[in-house]
Amino acid sequence: MKIRAWLEGVPVADPVERRNAPLVQAILLAMGVLMPLNKIVHLYFASFRASLSAPGLVADMITDVVMTAAAWAGLILIRRGQFRRGVILYLGVMLGCAAFAYASIGLERLSNDPFPLLMLGMGGLMLGRRSLWTIYAALMGVFCLGTLGDVLQQWPHGAIDWQVGRKVSMAMSYAVVAIVLDRTIAALRDSLAESNARGAELARSNTLLQAEMAERERAQSQLVHAQKMEAAGHLASGVAHDFDNVLNVVLGYAKRRERDADKGTDALLASMEGVEVAARRALSISRKLLDFSGKRVIQCEHFDAGDALRDVAPMLRQIFDGTVRVRIDAQGCPATVAMDRAQFELMLLNVAANARDAMPTGGAFDVVLRCRGDEVELCMVDDGCGMATDVRDRAFDPFFTTKPAGRGTGLGLATLRDTVVAAGGSVWVDSAPGNGTRIGVRLPMVSGQPQSGVSEKVA
């Protein structure tokens, strides 16, 4: 594994060259090490020395030394990131040595030499089709020099055997090999180009998808904020009514100031205490409205769903007029859940707003909270007009609404579903025309005591 990592660790940018670099380095290492060893073994045997003339033996030695040096030089260039220069250097030296060796020794003695095929394969696969045919043409020239070497060796003996048929057959065999390599290289490079194009397209698509996801999250955050503002607008009249009640209490104490002053300090202090309690009630109302309508960073917190339901109950009742009976049932075991409390309240108010629109002539709206094993179940039921099957199936689709233009955005139930799913829960709807609507929410119950989360305001 370390050797493979070393062979692959070359600073080559081109993807084709980077894939071919390990194989080329392995070949050059083999040539640089095995060629000298092979020559030493051959020189050990007298039969090999006797098979070559003195000039031929010298030519063989010189070419082996030069090709060994070229193998190491090419390896060094590739390790430095110069892949093509390393391959071209090695192949060029091999062609030069082949020309020298074939001219000195002759084609007949070197007809089984494997190096021409190695040069064709390396040149085509590593450098491309043009280099393949350039090397083929150079080899044909080398074979011509080898033929000339055979003629010069046979000339002193008088009889010259040209062996034309054999040489033509050899040239045709190398041509077939070159054609097969050419077609294979073309197919491989076309496949690689197509793969690279698909990879680039996939990378662009991935970038666009990430940008769309970021934009969707930003748009969803803005839409949730818009929904909260819309719900806050529906609550404005109810909040004003609460403030009227508080102000009437304060005015009542103020009108009694002279009478209480006559009764002494204790009566006056009691009136002032009543004014303080009413003022605190007014502050509580305003803070809840600001917390609800403000644009906040969503923050998960542990809270008792029953307490949250009881706290938001006055706001729920203010959504409906006097013709609708509102019943809140949050009795039972502590129901601690983990989610953003403001989103929990927004979920209740969105469902209540839809129930109000479904009961224009009055009716009943019930909210029941129960503990079911390790889950908290919240059911919101109205006895309004109900929904047809096709409407019920699309109830949670974003921007789907049956209300007239300007009366709804189609995001209330979509926001509810996203909120519940993000908290690890589930939601369902059961409705039929004329039979009202029942929306159920299940949230996982968490252990531990409720802890108030700190909501961070965003300008």
Tens digit of each residue's pLDDT (9 = 90 or more) over 384-413: 999 988 888 888 887 777 776 555 556 678
What share of the chain has pLDDT > 70, as a percent?
A: 79
> How far is the C-alpha of 124 from the C-alpha of 121, rounded, in Å?
5
- Identify the pLDDT of residue 111: 73
Structure tokens given for 446? 């968490």
Q: Which residues contact 84 (CB under 8 A, 6 or more apart)?
A: 17, 127
Structural domain total, the chain: 2
pLDDT tens per residue across span 253-280? 677 677 767 777 777 777 777 677 667 6
At residue 454, the pLDDT reads 42
What is the number of alpha carbons within 13 Å of residue 403 lying toward its C-beta?
A: 17
Q: Is the residue at 283 inside a domain?
A: no
Is 287 inside a domain boundary?
no
**Minimal CA–CA distance to 410: which of 421, 400, 396, 395?**
400
The pLDDT score that the predictor gives to residue 63 is 84
Residue 21 pLDDT > 80, yes or no?
yes
Which pLDDT value is given to residue 456?
40
Mean pLDDT in residue range 114-119: 86
Looking at the structure, do residues 313 and 457 belong to the same domain, yes or no? Answer: yes
Q: Grade residue 53 by pLDDT with cuts at 50, 70 and 90.
A: low
Q: What pLDDT band is residue 49 in, cutting at 50, 70 and 90?
A: low
**Does position 293 have pLDDT exceeding 60, yes or no?**
no
Q: Is the pLDDT of residue 459 over 50?
A: no
CATH number reported for the structural domain that contains residue 457 in this entry: 3.30.565.10
Q: Is the residue at 140 inside a domain?
A: yes
Q: Of 162, 186, 203, at which residue does a domain stop?
A: 162
pLDDT band at 72 (very low <50, low <70, confident <90, very high): very high
304 and 452, same domain (yes or no): yes
Residue 362 lies in a domain: yes
The predicted-structure confidence for 433-450, as pLDDT tens digits, reads as follows 988 999 999 999 987 666
Q: Residue 329: which H helix or E strand, with range?
A: strand 324-329
274 within domain boundaries: no
| CA distance readout (Å), 76 to 23, 91, 391 | 15, 15, 73
The most confident of the ranges 143-147, 194-198, 255-259 is 143-147
Report the distance separating Cα 146 and Cα 59, nearest Å.
Answer: 13
Q: For residue 64, what are the contacts with CB-CB under 8 A and spacing of at least 6?
A: 35, 36, 39
Helix axes 341-358, 265-293, angle to 10 degrees: 90
Segment 221-259, tens digit of pLDDT: 777 777 666 666 655 655 665 566 567 667 766 776 777
Q: What is the pLDDT of residues 304-324, one digit of tens each?
A: 999 888 877 876 776 787 788
How far apart CA 281 and CA 288 sit, in angstroms, is 11
Residue 301 C-beta-side C-alpha neighbours within 13 Å: 19
Looking at 113, 147, 162, which one is the last position of a domain?
162
Asked whether the predicted pLDDT for residue 375 surpasses 80, the reply is yes
Q: Residue 375, by phi and psi: left (phi above 0), alpha (psi -120 to 50) or beta?
A: beta
| Residue range(s) defining the domain that contains residue 130 | 2-162
Question: Is the same domain home to 154 and 301?
Answer: no
Does residue 232 sit within a domain? no
State the residue for tokens 């006797």.
Answer: 50
Segment 119-143 shows an average pLDDT of: 89
| 123 burial via Cβ count (<10 Å: 0-12, 13-18, 19+) | buried
pLDDT at 424 over 60: yes
Task: Among 146, 162, 178, identify where a domain stops.
Answer: 162
Q: Mean pLDDT across the chain, nearest whole number?
A: 80
Residue with the bigger pLDDT between 279 and 148: it is 148
CA distance 289 to 286: 5
Residue 324 lies in a domain: yes
Long-range Cβ contacts of 156-165 (<8 Å, 24+ apart):
163/108
In a domain, 261, yes or no: no
- Asked if residue 74 has pLDDT above 60, the reply is yes
Q: What's residue 455's pLDDT?
A: 42
Beta-bridge partner residues of 324: 363
